[in-house]
């Protein structure tokens, strides 16, 4: 039997992500929540096969975990969706940090051109709760 959800260096679930981010929001001044998905993953699966698609999903997750700080929170929140929460040192530094985060989402993997759509919300500007931030990042993701 094939694992339809490949391992991702022990990803946390959506529920765990929501709890951890909600707890973190109580103690920080600024943060960013990014939601991302793989553009046209269905097409990649159709053309290159599900095994290649699974390798791409795993590589994306591992790349995200590799490029975040140990204090950041990374989760696989859906079939091809990932979320990251990062604490920002000061609100005025958000542009530079968010741009660096955004740049992680454009890269080739497994000899396939892979593009990541991303939507980002900023705490406390876009919301003060996990739900508000997650929804706003989702709206931004749909617009990407």
Per-residue pLDDT at 65: 80
Provide the whole-model pTM. Answer: 0.81
What is the distance between the alpha carbons of residues 65 and 55, in angstroms, rounded to a whole number?
Answer: 15
Beta strands in 3-105 (DSSP E): 31-38, 73-76, 81-87
Per-residue pLDDT at 128: 97
CATH assignment of 14-143? 3.30.70.270
10-57 pLDDT, tens digit per residue, is 568 899 999 999 999 999 999 999 998 888 888 889 999 999 888 888
What is the distance between the alpha carbons of residues 76 and 131, in angstroms, rounded to a whole number?
Answer: 17
Whether residue 121 contacts residue 65, with contact meaning beta carbons closer than 8 Å, is answered with no
């Amino acid at each position: 039997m094939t694992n339809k959800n490949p391992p991702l260096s022990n990803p946390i679930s959506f529920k765990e992500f929501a709890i951890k981010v909600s707890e973190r929001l109580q103690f920080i001044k600024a943060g960013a929540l990014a939601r991302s998905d793989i553009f046209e993953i269905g097409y990649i699966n159709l053309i290159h096969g599900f095994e290649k698609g699974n390798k791409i999903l795993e590589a994306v997750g591992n790349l995200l975990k590799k490029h975040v700080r140990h204090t950041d929170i990374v989760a696989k929140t859906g079939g091809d969706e990932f979320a990251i929460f990062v604490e920002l040192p000061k609100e005025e530094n958000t542009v530079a940090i968010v741009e660096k985060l955004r740049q992680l989402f454009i890269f080739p993997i497994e000899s396939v051109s892979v593009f990541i759509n991303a939507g980002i919300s900023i705490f406390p500007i876009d919301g003060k709760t996990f739900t508000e931030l997650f929804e706003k990042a989702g709206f931004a993701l749909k617009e990407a």
